[in-house]
Every structure is written in structure tokens, then in C-alpha cells.
Amino acid sequence: MSRNSERKLENLYNEYSGERIFIIGNGPSLSKTQLSRLGSEYTFALNKINAMYDAVSWRPSFYLFMKSTMDDEEEKFVEENIDNGSVCFLNENYRSIFGNKKHIYYIKRKKLAADPLTVADISVSHVDNVDLDELSDVWESNITKGVYKQHSMYPILQIVSYLGFDEVYLLGCDLGFDVQKPYLLFESGVDPAKFISKKEFFKSSLRDRTPVRSIVNAVLFKLMLTRPVGYLLRRVTTLYEDRSHFTESYDGKIRFRDVNEEISNAHRVAKRVLNAEGVTVYNATPGGELEEYPRVDFATIVNGS
């Protein structure tokens, strides 16, 4: 990251001290949430939130896009949020695309050791009891050095803390992501999505006496991860219906691994660090499966805003 980018970010430190902010996820409950009531609030949205814009006049105060790659549609979405005047935090890889406008801040995406499983592998008891310094390899409090991205909300939580917000409300954070296993031609074979290590995968297949069937599953799994095949799969609507976002056309991404517990554990890490920093997070999402934060009623929180 350039020194100019660092200085821009340094100027934001504690800029919003004592304020509250609503972080807007893209879960299905968002279609039932009255975003128009957030007009006087600080809000932070991300990725393809633009798909909601035709239905509401609301636009986010802050916007994030930290994915390592983007397609043409996503590039247009980022451009739209820049044009809307949202303060945009973008992966530093996109500087050559979007330039150096005043309200664009580029941030380095720091890589977790086994992204995205590092955070998920930390036990609940460890998160609750470990010295906070030991979480510094999965959480960055000084965003001039970058942010870790375990899931979409994770870098936003690091950013809002740095900005000084001390009261955070989550909306559209439902969890409940569907899992699809179209590569499991042999259900009796080992599931390759459960392994990072090839060695452990093969050991498990031998232990289960299913090496051939497991290898067939692994070959299909690898094939489905390639861009051409993945592109085709996203368009086979009978195979996968996206029920994890506020619109079925959000991305059609097929998830081969159950990410719900991974995301929940990342929220446990965030809650532990943020509480120590004096930041309180509440879940104002109606329904959903995220239970790491105290629940509050959205209508009550924004009453009179």
C-alpha cells in the first residue's frame, strides 16, 4: 500500500467516535427491512447491495468491495456506489480501475494462514479465553496495515471500529447458507470439500476403504472449482436456487462447504475484540441464525429517526 493511501486512512481514525452505525448484509431478511428508515443514520453496505436500489431511495454512507476478483457486473456496481458519493473502501488491487477520487480508500487484503478456515478452526473456548494479542493474526485493529477477510462482514467490523463507531447494529445478516454437493457422485466416498490437506484426504479414503470412489469425487470437485464449469453451474437454475440473499438473482453461488459455523466463529472473534475496544454490536436482523450478538428490534431502534 502506498504511503498516500496510509495517510488517507490515518485521517479517518476515530473520525466517528461516539456515533452509531448500521451494517447492512445481503441476507433474505433485507427484502423485508424498511431501509428507508435509515436516512438519518450512518450505514455500511457491500458487494451487490445495488440490486436493492430500484426498490428504495436509501443509499449507504459507506460501501465495501474487498473480493480479490470482480466481474463486469460487479465493476458497474462499484462505480455506481462511487458515483452515489458513498465513502468506498476497496481492495487495493482495483486502484488502476477506479482511480484516486477523494472518497475512495484502498485497503490491503491480508491473507489468513489458511484462508478462510483459520478463524473457523479456533475453538469457542479459545476465543473466549485467549489473550487478545493472540488474535492479532486473524484481526487487524489498524486498517492502514490492511484487513482480514474471512467473510463479508468481517473486514467491515474491523473498519467501523477503526473509524470510531462504538454502537453497531447488524441488518440482513441471516446466515443459513445452503450447501450443495453436486460433485459427490459416490456418497459413500470421502467428501473432498472437508479437507485442505491432500494427504489427510487420501488417508481418510484408505481408512474408509473407498479410494477409487473418493478420487472420482475429488476429480469432479476440482473440475467444478474451475471457472468455466463454475460459470455454467451458476446458470443451471434447477441445480441451485439462491435462498441466501435478498434476491434469488444475487449470485447463484454454489457452496460446497457449510460456511455457517465458520461465519459464526468469525463473529465470535469480532465480538471478543470489539467488546475489548469498547464497541458493542447488536443484531437487528429480523430472524436468521446469527446468535452471537444481543438481539434488538429494528423498528424500536430507529423509531423517530
pLDDT tens by residue, 20-61: 999 998 888 888 888 889 989 999 999 989 988 988 899 999
281 in the same domain as 134:
yes
152 and 285 both lie in a single domain: yes
Residue located via cell numbers 462511487: 82
User: What are φ and ψ of residue 18, in 5° steps?
Assistant: 85, -5
Are 126 and 269 contained in the same domain? yes
Q: Are residues 11 and 57 in the same domain?
A: yes
- State yes or no: pLDDT of 240 exceeds 60: no
One domain, residues 198 and 296: no
pLDDT level of residue 152 (50, 70, 90 thresholds): confident
Characterize 66-103 residue by residue with b for buried, 16 or more Cβ atoms within 10 angstroms of its Cβ, and e for exposed.
bbeebeeebeebbeebbeeebbbbbbeebeeebeeeee
Q: How much is the pLDDT for 237?
A: 41
Given a contact cutoff of 8 angstroms between Cβ atoms, the answer to whether 60 and 43 are in contact is yes
63 and 91 inside one domain = yes
The answer to whether 154 and 270 are in contact (CB under 8 A) is: yes
Is residue 33 in some structural domain?
Answer: yes
For the cut 60, the answer to whether the pLDDT of residue 82 exceeds it is yes
Number of domains in the chain: 2
Whether 64 is covered by a domain: the verdict is yes
Structural domain includes residue 242: no
Q: Report which of residues 176 and 195 the model is more confident about.
A: 195
Same domain, 31 and 122: yes
Instruction: Looking at the structure, tell me whether residues 69 and 118 fall in a common domain.
Output: yes
| Residue 29 placed within a domain | yes
Same domain, 228 and 267: no
Q: What is the pLDDT of residues 271-286, one digit of tens each?
A: 999 999 999 999 999 8
Asked whether residue 272 falls in the same domain as residue 161, the answer is yes
> Is the residue at 246 inside a domain?
no
Mean pLDDT of the chain: 85
Domain co-membership, 198 together with 106: no
Q: 266: closest CA among 187, 148, 184?
A: 148
Q: Looking at the structure, do residues 61 and 18 belong to the same domain, yes or no?
A: yes
Beta bridge partner(s), residue 42: 21
Is 163 inside any structural domain? Answer: yes
185 located within any domain: no
- Domain interval for residue 89: 3-175+259-301
